[in-house]
Amino acid sequence: MTSPRLNLVTGGGGFIGSNLVRALLDRGDRVRVLDDFSTGHRENLDGLDVDIVVGDLGTDADVARAFDGVTHVFHLGALPSVARSVEAPLPSDRTNDVGTMNLLVAAREQKVQRVVFSSSSSVYGETPTLPKREGEEGQPISPYAVSKQAGEYYCRLFHRLYGLPTVMLRYFNIFGPRQDPDSHYAAVVPRFIAALLTRTPPTIYGDGHQSRDFTYVMDAVQANLKAADAPEAAFGEAFNVACGGRISLLGLLEELQEILDVRVAPTHEPPRDGDIRHSQADIEKARRILGYEPGFSFREGLEATAAWYREHG
């Protein structure tokens, strides 16, 4: 009897990472987490049978410790947030670019069976064409977006040069349980929910008519699991992970007000540098090659997320 695969989840203490860790454990896999917990939280892994390596992606020795015996890698570790990268570009570059290179070198040496890299819709930049299709990447407008595009290039290169099986996933505005609402750089869904639950006016940067393809976190988890077992046609390729629709921030707020039965008028601040105006994904490539299909509608995801925040305060 073969032993279960050993999955390394970088950034496993974070929002998407901790949800992925649970899904891997639920199907009987072994899991190791590499995280420095600078943005993730240890409590996201409380009660889980995981091997935790506290370390930095930018430190060779930490990465080497984490890779012992690993068969599959889910690389979610990064310094997130477009806004943070605009304010302080160097830390984003060090963590995201150097960290990804360190990870790929270790994966090549370990001869892992698959590396699944978490990228971002931000690589498309401010291009007017909707929906966004793979192969039509624009000009990134934030250091974070540049770092994610560089990570994709490295993953593609390591497949072509060294035969390392890599798959890149471009997330479109993932939301769901365990997403931190407290950070200055927090995503809009948890910030809106936290504001409404405390009867505080939600802050909208800009006029609120900017739109996003909001995607429930369990669909991002599904995409990771499918990418880890995808056929060779997926190697060295990038895939959009989204619902394939879009809604404005004002529309999002209206939906949450209805779900939570709270009415609080928003306040508006100037638009933030690095934020794009509209985003929507074409997900046909992911459907065709990965077998990806969104399992949650936008409304279903919002209802599940709001219920989780109500329960967990």
192-226 pLDDT tens trace:
999 999 999 999 999 999 999 999 999 999 999 99
Any idea of the CA torsion for 275, 278, 279, 280, to the nearest 10 degrees? 170
pLDDT at 1: 42
Asked if pLDDT for residue 137 goes beyond 50, the answer is: yes
Residue 131 lies in a domain: yes
Q: Is residue 273 part of a domain?
A: no
Q: Is 171 a catalytic residue?
A: no
Q: What is the mean pLDDT of the chain?
A: 93
Nearest-angstrom CA–CA distance, 109 and 147:
23
Indicate the pairing of strand 237-241 with strand 114-120. Answer: unpaired
pLDDT of residue 90: 85
Is 133 within a domain? yes
Residue 186 has pLDDT above 70, yes or no: no
Give the active site residue among 144, 154, 171, 292. Answer: 144
State the average pLDDT over residues 61-88: 91
User: Does residue 287 sit within a domain?
Assistant: yes
Q: Are 67 and 107 in contact (CB under 8 A)?
A: yes
pLDDT at residue 78 greater than cutoff 70? yes
The pLDDT of residue 3 is above 80: no
In a domain, 307, yes or no: no
Number of domains the chain contains: 1
- CATH for 41: 3.40.50.720
Q: Is residue 201 situated within a structural domain?
A: no
Q: What is the pLDDT of residues 276-302, one digit of tens each?
A: 899 999 999 999 999 999 999 999 999
208 found inside a domain: no
In a domain, 185, yes or no: no
CA angle 241, 247, 253 (to 5 degrees): 120
Calculate ∠ Cα 289-120-260, nearest 5°. Answer: 100
For 157, the domain range is 6-172+217-243+281-295
Phi first, then psi: give them for residue 66, nearest 5 degrees. -70, -25
Whose CA is closest to 100, among 157, 139, 45, 138? Answer: 157
Provide mean pLDDT across the span 34-47.
93
